[in-house]
Amino acid sequence: MAEELDFKVIALFKNAVMIEHDNKQKMIRSGQIYKQVKLLSADSHSANFLINGQPISLGLHESKIGNRLANDAPLQKKFVRIPRDNSGMYRTAGFINGVPVNFLVDTGASQVAMNEVTARRVGLQYKLYGQKTGVSTAAGKSTAWFLKLKKVNIGGVELKQVDALVVKGVGPDEVLLGMSFLRQLKMQDDGELLKLTKKF
């Protein structure tokens, strides 16, 4: 059995993170594996890791100690900051049921929405357990399946039993982070940075 790696996040960058392990510093870039730790994505606010097959998101000064997470920073509400990208949209990496995905924040979408390709990759049995319905998309009317996601995680924010839609076909290209997730959070948008904070 692989030894559990304890480490602390000491610096965050775009697509890279600096960790401290056994009093030594190590830079990991997105896609790289250090021991059993793989960095999936990172920005200046948080880093998403895959550790022994388990997804973990850590912010600055947060640590993984054994099977638990610790935070050396002052106690505060869990939140995530998402910078606006060059296209003027808010995009962020995250997880659905523990599987890494890329989200597009969409306040115009009533639910978290994804295409069938993404749903199958996440492991959703949407045709078996979902409720078939009709939806209107940018491309016209389409078939979709309504279901609940066990958990959705971005940054330090995790919500459970989130309403979602799987839309027939290949659209939308990205997973839409809709209001079924966003309305459970406090949203602060200064035009360049979107901050999402858990209400409780």
Domain range summary for the chain, segments of one domain joined by +: 7-71, 79-198
Query: What pLDDT, in 10s, does the model give residues 2-48?
Result: 456 788 888 888 889 988 888 788 899 999 988 888 899 888 778 88
Query: Of the CATH numbers 2.115.10, 2.30.30, 3.30.70, 3.30.2000, which one belongs to the domain with range 7-71?
Result: 2.30.30
- Buried (b) or exposed (e) across 22-58, using 16+ Cβ within 10 A? eeeebebebeeebeebbbbbbbebbbbbbbeeebbbb
pTM of the shown model: 0.65
| Predicted confidence (pLDDT) at residue 165 exceeds the cutoff of 90 | yes
Domain 79-198 class, CATH top level: mainly beta
* Distance of alpha carbon 150 from alpha carbon 141, whole angstroms: 27
